[in-house]
Amino acid sequence: MATVVRCLSWFTQRGLLAVVCLAGCHAEAPAPAALNADIFLSPDTALIRGLVAPSTTLDEMLRAHGLSADAVGRLIDAARAVFDPRRMRAAQPFLIERTHDGGLRQFEYEIDAASFLRVTPVALGAEALRAEVLPIPRTLEEAAAAGMVDDATPSLFQAMDAAGENAELTMALARIFAGEVDFNTEVQPGDRFALAFERFVRPDRPPTYGAITAAEFINDGRLIRAVRFTPPGGRPDYFDEQGRSLRRFLLRSPLKFEPRITSRFSLRRLHPVLHTTRAHRGVDYGAPTGAPVVAAAGGTVVSATYDSANGRMVRLRHAGGYESYYLHLSAFAAGIRRGARIDQGQAIGRVGSTGLATGPHLHYGLQKNGRWVDPLREHRNMPPGDPVPSTAMEAFRAARDGALERLSSAHASAMSAVVTTSN
């Protein structure tokens, strides 16, 4: 088991310096998923299906699968009219059908959950190619799921898996309640959830998720509910049953999931070795290298820097005199540079152990008007976002009542599933 990661961190009067982290936690980055391609041979063509390998270009991938240099050149020229090949992403599905001498019959690449690129000859055997971006055929259905965190499924991920859904939905659920529950530290055995959501069903692949329309989470006996609603002229957001916003100015933590607090904020912490008192002006979260770190609040990037003490560090400025600091990162997210606008929950980097840290963790610091404050306490004291306006309450109540009905039927069918399996 991992030992405690902690950061014996203190700051000089002028700001952030001298962060010493003693750690014994070693988390391995997950091995990349196998990206094998299946090759089907027929008398005159080869059909290759696979997932795009990491750090490969479209050009390299097509050549590697036997397309002639000439066909590759023409394919990329044609594709450029509708899709920038540099935007090709690892792990996205593709399909190549080619003749044995390397000529193209068809090429498909899945751009995202909703659209794909197709390149084909304008006529059978023709040299000229046609490229199109087409919608992926899929149907939208209303779905619901419910589950419980217990001995058999001790994490929310496992409980969701047992409910027949996947990690993507778990992450979306955690984001909705991120202002209310710290999913890194506060999930308990006996916690229950139910959610109603949109699911896009495709004949050829696992389904993908649309919006969660309603959710409830019972955390340590406390019931929290969220209903998705779009106030007139506003953006869709989540509200409790009374129409109060679930959005907080600060997220409960800048990590999406599963790490734990290893050292809390303290202005007077007894140093375990020196027996002197030193402040720890932030919160340490033990987390595996590479775990995404997100902005605790919307704002602007003040700096994204590297130094030998703090390692890679992002500093953000927010409204109300707040600044937040994220230390020891292994990488910055794309687009994180001085002056960039950042939304709450947007990825800013990845957990690491750069600077004076001997194990992967995130040191998260918060200043208000230039003074260090406890991020966890500030979060609790923050007022929520705007409630549903009174003029929209009638529409909200109708949406809410429909949503709660779907949640209670999700609970009921989860219960009957339990009864069935135990018989």
| Site residues for Zn ion per CB under 5 A | 7, 9, 284, 363
Going by the DSSP 8-state scheme, the letter that residue 52 receives in this structure is: P
CA distances for 332 relative to 45, 267, 326, 328, 367, angstroms: 44, 29, 10, 11, 21
Q: What are phi and psi of 313, to 5 degrees?
A: -135, 135
Output 147 or 282, the one with its CB closest to Zn ion.
282
Closest CA to 246 of 324, 345, 363: 345
Q: Residue with the closest Cβ to Zn ion?
A: 7
Q: Which two tokens stand for residue 312?
A: 């890679």
CA distances for 5 relative to 24, 271, 329, angstroms: 6, 15, 15
Distance between CA atoms of residues 108 and 182, nearest Å: 41
Output 199 or 363, the one with its CB closest to Zn ion.
363
CA atoms in the 13 A half-sphere facing the CB of 306: 8
Output 147 or 349, the one with its CB closest to Zn ion.
349
Output 7 or 163, the one with its CB closest to Zn ion.
7
Output 231 or 359, the one with its CB closest to Zn ion.
359
Output 7 or 156, the one with its CB closest to Zn ion.
7
| Residue 12, strand partner residues | 15
Taking the complex as a whole, the smallest distance from the CB of residue 4 to Zn ion amounts, in Å, to: 12
Closest CA to 40 of 82, 87, 86, 97: 97
Taking the complex as a whole, the smallest distance from the CB of residue 284 to Zn ion amounts, in Å, to: 4
Taking the complex as a whole, the smallest distance from the CB of residue 8 to Zn ion amounts, in Å, to: 8
Taking the complex as a whole, the smallest distance from the CB of residue 285 to Zn ion amounts, in Å, to: 9
Output 22 or 113, the one with its CB closest to Zn ion.
22
Q: Which two tokens stand for residue 401?
A: 């009542």
End-to-end CA distance of the chain: 37
Q: In sequence order, which residues have a C-beta less than 8 Å from that of residue 41 and are 6 or more positions away?
A: 47
Taking the complex as a whole, the smallest distance from the CB of residue 9 to Zn ion amounts, in Å, to: 4
Taking the complex as a whole, the smallest distance from the CB of residue 270 to Zn ion amounts, in Å, to: 15
Taking the complex as a whole, the smallest distance from the CB of residue 365 to Zn ion amounts, in Å, to: 8
